[in-house]
Amino acid sequence: MPGSFRIGTIAGIDIYVNFSWLIILVLLTDSLASGWFPSAYPGQTLVTYLLLGFISAILLFVSVLLHELGHSLVARAQGLSVKSIVLFIFGGVSNIEQEPRTAGGEFWMAVIGPVISLAIGGIAYGFFVLASGSKSALAAILMYLAAANILLGIFNLIPGFPLDGGRVLRAIVWKVTGRPTTATQVATFIGQLVAYLFILWGILQFFSGNPLGGIWLGFIGWFLLTAAQSVRAQATYDTLFKDVTVSQMMNAHPMTVPANISLQKLVDEYFLPQGLRSALVMQGDILAGLITLSDIRHVPREEWPQTPVGFVMKSVDKLHVVSPQQNMKDVLVLMNGRDVNQLPVVENERLVGVLSRDAVIRSLEVRQRLGLRQVRTDEESQSQGPREEHKDQEPHAV
Binding-site residue positions for Zn(2+): 67, 71, 164
| Residue 87 · residue 16 · CB < 8 Å | yes
Q: Please name the residues in contact with 3: beta carbons below 8 A apart, sequence gap of 6 or more.
A: 18, 19, 20
In the complex, the smallest distance separating the C-beta of residue 63 from Zn ion, rounded to whole angstroms, is 12
In the complex, the smallest distance separating the C-beta of residue 330 from Zn ion, rounded to whole angstroms, is 26
Stretch that binds Zn ion, among 8-16, 32-40, 106-114, 295-303 (CB under 5 A): 106-114
**Contact call for residue 353 and Zn ion (CB under 5 A):** no
Measured on CA atoms in the order 283, 288, 292, 298, is the torsion positive or negative?
Answer: negative
**Contact call for residue 329 and Zn ion (CB under 5 A):** no
Q: Please, which residue, 164 or 238, has the CB nearer to Zn ion?
A: 164
Task: Determine the size of the site formed for Zn ion (CB under 5 A).
Answer: 3
Q: Please name the residues in contact with 382: beta carbons below 8 A apart, sequence gap of 6 or more.
A: 178
Q: Please, which residue, 55 or 66, has the CB nearer to Zn ion?
A: 66
In the complex, the smallest distance separating the C-beta of residue 72 from Zn ion, rounded to whole angstroms, is 10
Angstrom distance (rounded) from CA 211 to CA 265 = 59
Element (H, E) at 280: strand 278-283
Angstrom distance (rounded) from CA 228 to CA 265 = 48
Q: What are residue 289's DSSP bridge partners?
A: 281, 315
Residue type for 59, please? L
Q: Please, which residue, 114 or 202, has the CB nearer to Zn ion?
A: 114
Which residues between 367 and 396 bind Zn ion (CB under 5 A)? Answer: 396
DSSP state of 214: H
Angstrom distance (rounded) from CA 305 to CA 217 = 57
Q: Which of 53, 100, 105, 113 binds Zn ion (CB under 5 A)?
A: 113
- What are the φ/ψ torsions at residue 85 (nearest 5 degrees)? -120, 130
- Binding mask of the shown chain, residues 147 to 166, with x at each position contacting Zn ion by CB under 5 A: -----------------x--
Is 68 designated active site?
yes
In the complex, the smallest distance separating the C-beta of residue 157 from Zn ion, rounded to whole angstroms, is 10
Q: Please, which residue, 329 or 396, has the CB nearer to Zn ion?
A: 396
Stretch that binds Zn ion, among 75-83, 105-113, 122-130, 371-379 (CB under 5 A): 105-113
Q: Please, which residue, 195 or 280, has the CB nearer to Zn ion?
A: 195
In the complex, the smallest distance separating the C-beta of residue 241 from Zn ion, rounded to whole angstroms, is 28
DSSP state of 112: H
Q: Please name the residues in contact with 114: beta carbons below 8 A apart, sequence gap of 6 or more.
A: 67, 152, 153, 154, 156, 157, 164, 165
Angstrom distance (rounded) from CA 15 to CA 6 = 6
Q: Please, which residue, 161 or 270, has the CB nearer to Zn ion?
A: 161
In the complex, the smallest distance separating the C-beta of residue 139 from Zn ion, rounded to whole angstroms, is 28
Element (H, E) at 47: helix 46-77
Report which residue's Cβ sits closest to Zn ion: 113
The annotation places the binding site at 67, 71, 164
Q: Please name the residues in contact with 90: beta carbons below 8 A apart, sequence gap of 6 or more.
A: 219, 220, 223, 397, 398
Which residues between 38 and 57 bind Zn ion (CB under 5 A)? Answer: none
- Tell me the catalytic residues: 68
Query: What is the binding site for Zn ion (CB under 5 A)?
Result: 113, 164, 396
